[in-house]
A = this chain, B = another copy of it.
Amino acid sequence: MTDWTSLYASRMAGVVGSDIRERAKLLDARQIIHLGGGLPDPEIFPYARLAQASAAIWADPARARTALQYAPSEGHGPLREWIAGHMTARGVPCTVDNILITNGSQQGLDFIAKLLLSPGDTAMVEIPSFIGALRAFDAYQPQYVGLPEDAEDWADPALGGAKFCYVGPDFRNPTGTTMTLAEREALLDLAERTGIAIVEDGCYEDLRYDGAPLPSLIARAVARHGSIESAPVLHTGTFSKTVAPSLRVGWIAGPAEAIRKLVLIKQASDLATSAFNQMLLLDVVREGLGDMIAEACRVYRGRRDAMLATLARVMPEGVTWTEPGGGLYIWLDLPERIDATLLSQRALAEHHVSAISGAAFYPKGAANVTPRHNCLRLSFSMIGAEPARIGVERLAALVREMMAESAVAA
């Protein structure tokens, strides 16, 4: 009799499904007010453009053949060219040799960890960090170390020895905060001093609702070094937030030397991304990425503004939150005596509102990191202003209730 548990690799120890996800399955999904997930709103997907692009591919026998045959592991050539042009326009002069197509940026993070991490190697991550990145890295069994919150500490010589430092400079998941230009420069200083690579998650950079864009880390690195080939940065990008997630098309940009290795990882992992999806994607972004970004920003900016206004109106004193200039998330700081995990459990069970406890966003076993227990991540992306208002009001009422309970207990 096969004992599967005894066969699992050591990386599977402690790998369990999300509690929240499992509990949410027990409820009728339709009655939950989703402030937890960060799914894009299907209202902004470019249906008509994609329908037209599909029909055009099927109508052309040569294109249809290309669409259904295996694509090169490095990606569909014309899409790689388009992305190289897109990166060049954003201050990262590069060619197709600097671009690998991936199934969304999640696969890019997985591949970068596969490229760089042996068991026991050190991965530096910002604190708190995108949970999907942590789960991708976990599979390669790193030791984690937190990037200190204050950039002044980044000059600490003890920070060396990691393989890479993972950051989301723009409107990052989960806090919605953005690195200043000075912080970007300081991080590149750290990379240059220590020889560690920077892994830059660019997935929210197009979802900017206020102000002018800052240069990406990879753009700054290219400016410093004169060429992408000597930049210490691998940058992941995606069309999941600006076009649609289920085409599953993203990319890694970086020095050709590292991209060549990543192509071999792609080949061994799933051969290639769907050629059909890459061709569809290329057709719609070539025609209208700017319009799609503008529409996404219009919709999400309104939702962010509405949620920030509701929070200001209903949250009790002692609760603070970030005011993101873009992205999909707001990060709440609750009073110390509130356990956000319990709060999120009660919010779902008693009030049918999902929200994610901040505790989920800390790496396992990082010696220099103390997970916060009193933070909550809210997303404003998935639902309209009215249910979002109701959801935040219910959360605020629950926070007041838990504050009152803890005051009695104390």
Return 24 A-B CB contacts under 8 Å, by A number. A2-B191, A2-B192, A3-B195, A4-B197, A4-B255, A4-B257, A5-B257, A9-B118, A9-B163, A12-B261, A39-B70, A47-B68, A51-B59, A67-B246, A68-B245, A68-B246, A70-B245, A70-B246, A103-B274, A135-B268, A245-B271, A248-B270, A248-B274, A274-B277
A139 within 8 Å of B by Cβ?
yes
Give the A interface residue count (CB, 8 A).
87
Contact with B along A10-31 (1 / 0, CB 8 A): 1110011100000000000000
Q: Kindly report which residue of chain B lies nearest to residue A119, judged by CB atoms.
A: B119
B7–A164 touching, CB < 8 Å: yes
Instruction: Tell me which residues from 65 to 111 in chain A have a Cβ below 8 Å from any Cβ of chain B.
Output: 65, 67-71, 102-104, 106-107, 110
Known: A69-B40, A71-B246, A246-B67. A107 touches B269 (CB 8 A): yes
Shortest CB-to-CB span from A194 to chain B, Å, is 10
Shortest CB-to-CB span from A203 to chain B, Å, is 12
Shortest CB-to-CB span from A51 to chain B, Å, is 4
Number of copies: 2
Bound complex: CA of A139 vs CA of B261, how far in Å?
A: 12
Residues of B within 8 A of A107 (CB): 269-270
Bound complex: CA of A3 vs CA of B196, how far in Å?
A: 9
Residues of B within 8 A of A164 (CB): 7
8 Å CB contact of A271 from B8, B68, B106, B265: B106
A114 within 8 Å of B by Cβ?
yes
A271–B42 touching, CB < 8 Å: no
Bound complex: CA of A1 vs CA of B231, how far in Å?
A: 8
Residues of B within 8 A of A106 (CB): 268-271
The 8 nearest A-B residue pairs measured at CB: A51-B58, A2-B232, A68-B244, A135-B268, A107-B270, A103-B270, A246-B275, A42-B65
Instruction: Tell me which residues from 176 to 226 in chain A have a Cβ below 8 Å from any Cβ of chain B.
Output: 191-192, 195-197
Shortest CB-to-CB span from A342 to chain B, Å, is 24
Residues of B within 8 A of A269 (CB): 106-107, 110, 136, 139, 269
